[in-house]
Structure 1
Amino acid sequence: MKLIVAGSTGFVGTEVIRLSLKRPDITTVIALSRTPISLPQQPEAGADVSKLRNVIVKDYGEFPDSVKKEFAGADACIWTVAITPARAKRIDFNEVKRVCQESTVTGLRTMHEAGVNRPFRFLYTSGIAAERDQTKTPTFMPEYSLMRGETENQLLAVAAESGGDLEVCVAKPGWITAATFTRKSIMAFVLRWTASVPSVTVSEISAAMIDQVAHGFDKEPLMNEDLVSIGRRALSAPPAGE
C-alpha cells in the first residue's frame, strides 16, 4: 500500500509515520510536510526507512506538478493538517478556515485528479466537537466547531460525487495524549472529569487510522471510543503482512 500522510511533522502525523514504517503491508510512505521531517539516527527495530519519501510543499492548498506526481498510484491518505482550537483563538478566522477547510478539500480533489488507485481512502482527522448540523450552535467555540463540521460535510460530498473512486471517513477524537504520563495526560484527566471530554493516546489514534485505511472503514465517523478500541486492537496484533 502507498500511503500519503499530510501533516507529517505534527504530533499525530509523526506517530503515523513511525508506525507506518514498521508495517510490511505499507510499501511506500509519502510524508507531506512544509518543513523536512526528522528521523532518529538509529531507526526502531522493524522500521524500514527506505520506503519513506518526504515531499515538501510551500502550502497545503498548493500542489505543483512535481507533488502531484508523488500522489499518483497512492491507495490512501491520512490527513492531520489543522489549526488547533487553542491556536485558532490567536489567528484570523479566515486563515483558520483556509487551512482547516479549503486546503483539506483542495488536497482531496488534487489527489483524486493525480491518478490515485480506486478506491482511494481518505481519512480526515477532525475533532469530537466538530458539528455537521449547521443549524445548531455548539457550546464550544461555535464558529470554529461549525467550520470543522462543514469541512467534514464537504469532504463527504466530494466522495459522493466521485462515483466510487473515493472513500472518505472522519476521525473525531477527544483529547489526544502522549503515550507516557505528561502534561497532556494531566490535561486529559482534567477534561474528562470537568467537561466529560474523552481521550485517546497518540499511538492509539495513529494505529487506528492506519488500520482503517489499510483494511477499510468500519464505520463513519470514527468516534473517540472507536479509535481507542481499534487502536488497541491494532497495537496488540502481530505486524501486518507477517
Structure 2
Amino acid sequence: MKLIIAGATGFVAQELIRQSLRHPDIKSVVALARRPVAAPPGAGADGSKLKSVVVKDYDDYPEEVRRELAGADACIWTVAITPSKSKRLPFEEVTRVCQTSTLAALEALHEAGVGRPFRFLYMSGTAAERDQSKTPSWMPEYSLLRGETENRVLAFAAAHSTPSASAPPDFSACVAKAGLITHSYASSLFALGLRLAMGVPSVRLEEVAAAMLQQVTTAHGFEKEPLQNEDLVRIGRRALGEGRA
C-alpha cells in the first residue's frame, strides 16, 4: 500500500508516520508538508519507506508533486487550523486552510491518478456541525466551517466514485471526528477535567493514529462514517492490542 499523510509535520501526523513505518502492509509513505520531513524519533523499522514531498501550500500542486501522489491507495488528511489558533487569524485564512486546501487536494489527487479503490480519511473534530441550519453553541462559525468541509469531502468522493452494486465505492471518504487528543500525563489530566466539566471526549495520540491507519489499510473499507471519538478509541485500542502499530 502507498499512503499519503498530509500535514506531515503535525504531532498527529508524526505519530501516523511513526506507526506507518512499522506497519507491514504499508510499503510506501508519502509525507506531504510545507517543509522536509524526516522519520520521527522512535520510528525504527524501515525508514526507506518514507518519501518527503514538499508543497509551497496545500492548495498548489505542481506536476512534480502530482507525480509523487499518483498511484496512492489512501490519504489521511490532518491539515487544519486549530480552534484556538483560528481566533487569532482572519476567518478567510481559516477557510482557505481548513476547506479550500482540502478540496484542492482532492482535485489534485483525482487528477494525478490514484489507485482504485482509494480511501480519503479527513481528520475533523467532535464539534464540527454538518447541519448548516444549526447554530452551534461553541465557536459557531468555526464549527459550521469544519462541518461544511466534511460535507464537501463526502460529496466529492461520491461524485468521483464508479458505481458498483457488488463492491464498495472505489473512491471513498470518511471523517474521523476526534475529541481532545492526549499525548502526556498533563494533557490526560486536562482532558479528564474537560470531560467532567463539559463532557468533552478524548482519545490518546497512539490510539487515534492506530485507528486511522487500521481504517485505511483494512480490506473491508471504512467501518462506518463518521468515525466518532468512541469509535477511534475502540478501533485504536484493538489495533494496538493486535500489535499492528
TM-score bin (small chain): over 0.9
Of 42, 59, 64, which aligns to 2:57? 59
Structure 2 vs 1, CA of residues 40 and 101 (structure 1 numbering), >3 Å: closer, same or farther?
Answer: closer
Aligned partner letter, 2:4: I
- Distance in structure 2 (CA, Å) of the matches to 1:28 and 1:103: 23
Of 201, 210, 215, which aligns to 1:212? 215
Shift of 1:188: 0.7
Q: Which residue of 2 aligns with 1:222?
A: 227
Aligned partner letter, 1:72: A
Within-5 A mapping of 1:147-166:
147-164=145-162, 165-166=170-171
- Distance in structure 2 (CA, Å) of the matches to 1:147 and 1:102: 11
Does the CA contact (< 8 Å) of 2:18 and 2:39 recur in 1?
no
| 5+ long unaligned stretches in structure 2 | 163-169
Q: Deviations over 1:18-46 (max 9, x none)?
A: 000001110000000111224357752xx
- Does 1:181 find its partner at 2:179? no
| 5+ long unaligned stretches in structure 1 | none
Does the CA contact (< 8 Å) of 1:112 and 1:166 recur in 2?
no
Q: Which residue of 1 aligns with 2:3?
A: 3
Structure 2 vs 1, CA of residues 40 and 227 (structure 1 numbering), >3 Å: closer, same or farther?
Answer: closer
- Distance in structure 1 (CA, Å) of the matches to 2:92 and 2:132: 18
Aligned partner letter, 1:31: A
- Distance in structure 2 (CA, Å) of the matches to 1:175 and 1:163: 32
Q: Deviations over 1:64-93 (max 9, x none)?
A: 101100011100000000000000000000
Does the CA contact (< 8 Å) of 1:31 and 1:53 recur in 2?
yes
For structure 1, which segment, 158-167 or 224-233, has the greater mean C-alpha deviation from structure 2 after superposition? 158-167
Shift of 1:186: 2.4
SS at match of 2:125: coil
Q: Which residue of 1 aligns with 2:97?
A: 99
Shift of 1:113: 1.1
Of 181, 192, 196, which aligns to 1:193? 196
Percent identity between matched residues is 60
Does the CA contact (< 8 Å) of 2:17 and 2:40 recur in 1?
no
SS at match of 1:126: strand
Considering only aligned residues, what root-mean-square deviation do their CA atoms show, in Å?
1.3
Q: Which residue of 2 aligns with 1:39?
A: 39
Structure 2 vs 1, CA of residues 162 and 171 (structure 1 numbering), >3 Å: closer, same or farther?
Answer: same
Aligned partner letter, 1:157: A
Q: Which residue of 2 aligns with 1:12?
A: 12
For structure 1, which segment, 161-170 or 137-146, has the greater mean C-alpha deviation from structure 2 after superposition? 161-170
Q: Which residue of 2 aligns with 1:71?
A: 69
- Distance in structure 2 (CA, Å) of the matches to 1:38 and 1:79: 18
- Distance in structure 2 (CA, Å) of the matches to 1:41 and 1:190: 30
Does the CA contact (< 8 Å) of 1:123 and 1:213 recur in 2?
yes
Of 125, 138, 141, which aligns to 1:140? 138
Shift of 1:163: 2.8
Aligned partner letter, 2:90: D
- Distance in structure 2 (CA, Å) of the matches to 1:176 and 1:136: 26
SS at match of 1:91: coil
- Does 1:237 find its partner at 2:242? yes
Aligned length: 236
Aligned partner letter, 1:222: L
- TM-score, normalised by the number of residues in structure 2: 0.93
- Distance in structure 2 (CA, Å) of the matches to 1:101 and 1:170: 14
SS at match of 2:5: strand
